[in-house]
Amino acid sequence: MNRLQLRITGMTCAHCARSAEAALNALPGVRAAVSYEEGLAQVETQGDVDTQRLLDAVASRGYGAELLGEVETTPRSQGEQRPAGGPAGKRRQYIPVGSDGGIPAADRSRQVHPQTTSLEDNALTQGDGRLSVAIVGAGSAAFAAAIEAVGRGARVTLIEGAEVIGGTCVNVGCVPSKIMIRAAGIAHLQAHHPFQGISHCTPRIDRSALVRQQQARVEALRHEKYEHILETYPDIRLLRGWARFADPHTLVVRRADGSETRVTADRILIATGAHPAIPPIPGLAGTPYWTSTEALVAEAIPQHLVVLGGSAVALELGQAFLRLGARVTILARSRFLSREEPALGEGLVAVFEQEGAEVRLHTVPDAVRHDGEAFIVSVGGEALRCDRLLVALGRTPNTEGLGLERAGVETRPNGAILIDDHMRTSAAHIYAAGDCTDQPQYVYVAAAAGTRAAINMTGGDAALDLSAMPAVVFTDPAAATVGLTEDQAARRGIRTATRTLDLGNVPRALANFDTRGFIKLVAEADSGRLLGVQVLAAEAGEVIQAAALAIHNRMTVDDLAAQLFPYLTVVEGLKLCAQTFLKDVEQLSCCAG
């Protein structure tokens, strides 16, 4: 057995080391261990192995390699210096379209899938017989799929026409909104906290500074979670441009300069996301209204903000601006959180009105106009005047212009792509994941769907079970749900037993001097099996995952009541609510088991 040592350059993280290690271990008769910290590979070979093959294998993953020679079998002494050239190598660049990425002939000949790929105009793969996957989009679903697919031996081409990659969540959704909500919550607590002995004060808000800090974190996360992936995975390549189907197997990608590339791949994943839905209210289209995208980076706090909508985005941003000092009026088409347990929306209406918002339910504007200085929103003969108007009425799938009809991909009337639980569309070789489909529009659903789509595209069998999908609206208190509501269970013909526990019965809520909200459990009447949970509480988002696990594992309310929960925590409320199926918790001592 021969023992060799290689110096590896260009690694930027521990994953780089694992990638180089995998490339070496794929060679016959080779066992290797790569250390990111040392920038070294320790290699054992059976018999004579051409060292150039070792260097080429490392180069195939985009890193530099240099043979340092035989490795001593005795341990290195304390004073011995290790070879120079650790992991602080130059940052790797995106592999240009048409490049072979330095992939050696030995690696290109490895057969992972019997089909070959034809990518016209610009060759994005090397015709090495490996399965090729084209992904339209570069958000959470797309990247989750790309990482999984290359891990299963495929080559991936990401196609994205937007200026930045990463999709909605990191750029204009989850990340910036939660930063804004957190900042607004702190401002609110300074003026309205419940504790005696600590003075209240009205904070001075520098909205521009908040936005700068928020966007700096957005940019950092976009680089770490998306751009860095492209630097780390040489088998994921980015093609800039907007894609459309020419036929079921061919995508035409139009670049910013007007040039076009035709792409054919073994499998295609559509992961194009969604955009804010704009209602056909007379006059609205010609006004400078906000969607969540503009609202999140607005550097001035409106004097009066009117919000159209009663779901998650409308309520989260509406409360955030309210707490930052704006006067807020919310016009909801029906009620707050109309698809959820009614008590959740009712509880939030009370909170919003207590904090000073004006709430109008079952209200849709008749018309909107802008006079150059302000919006005039016509509602039932009344004219509401405001300086900003936020339209937050849901999101529409980004499928227009893809030419799905030429690929045989079926959609709903709103453009959402119809998929099954394996993310398969009506075209056998085309899959879809994320907000462009008819699945729930949550980033964690998109990522899970992308991963499973990749497994299925590369010969596996993975379904996505959404029966215990938790969801959170990040208001304060937050509204969180999982499983079935009482009404949903009834519509399925399931007899239920339910209990609702006011947070005044949860010791942690009492200790927090914040008893706003409740916990509701929905159980099957005969078996006691937990079917659904709805929570309105400041920590609802932290509570709901425990409920999701209980539903996933088919626990009964008796099972839940018998579990150990830490004291004092809000999640203990799940146990207390479960106990109410058999006991009066008001008659129990603290921590009663």
CB 251 within 8 A of CB 406: no
Helix, strand and coil content of the chain, in percent to the nearest 5, comes to 30, 25, 45
The catalytic residues are 11, 13, 16, 63, 169, 174, 590-591
**Of 86, 85, 71, 79, residue with least CA distance to 37:** 86
Residues listed for the chain? 593
The DSSP code sequence of 114-178 is: S------SS--S--SS--EEEEE--SHHHHHHHHHHHHTT-EEEEEE-SSSSSHHHHHHSHHHHH
Count Cβ atoms below 10 Å from residue 526 Cβ, excluding itself: 10
What is the separation of C-alpha 36 from the centre of its chain, rounded to a whole number of angstroms? Answer: 29
C-alpha distances (whole Å) from 485 to each of 337, 480, 532, 574 are 13, 12, 6, 16
Buried b (16+ CB within 10 A) or exposed e, 566-586: eeebbbbbbbbbbbbbeeebe
Strands (E), 344-450: 358-360, 367-370, 375-379, 382-386, 388-391, 395-397, 430-432
- Interatomic CA distance for residues 382 and 498, integer angstroms: 42
Q: Supply the Cα-derived Rg of the chain in whole angstroms.
A: 28
CB 400 within 8 A of CB 413: no
CB 328 within 8 A of CB 358: yes
C-alpha distances (whole Å) from 219 to each of 164, 192, 238, 348, 508 are 10, 32, 19, 32, 37
What is the three-class DSSP state of 281? coil
What is the three-class DSSP state of 405? helix
The DSSP code sequence of 58-92 is: HHHTT-EEEEEEEPPSSPPPTTPPPPS--S--PPP
Q: Which burial class, exposed, middle or buried, applies to 455 when counting CB atoms under 10 A from its CB (0-12, 13-18, 19+)?
A: buried
- Residue 16: phi and psi, rounded to 5, are -60, -40
Q: Are strands 250-254 and 388-391 parallel, antiparallel or unpaired?
A: unpaired
Query: For residue 17, what are its two tokens?
Result: 């080391």
- Interatomic CA distance for residues 222 and 267, integer angstroms: 27
C-alpha distances (whole Å) from 454 to each of 227, 426, 466, 509 are 20, 17, 18, 43
**What is the 8-class DSSP label of residue 411?**
B
- Residue 170: phi and psi, rounded to 5, are -75, -30
Buried b (16+ CB within 10 A) or exposed e, 494-521: bebbbbebebebbbbbeebebebbbbbb
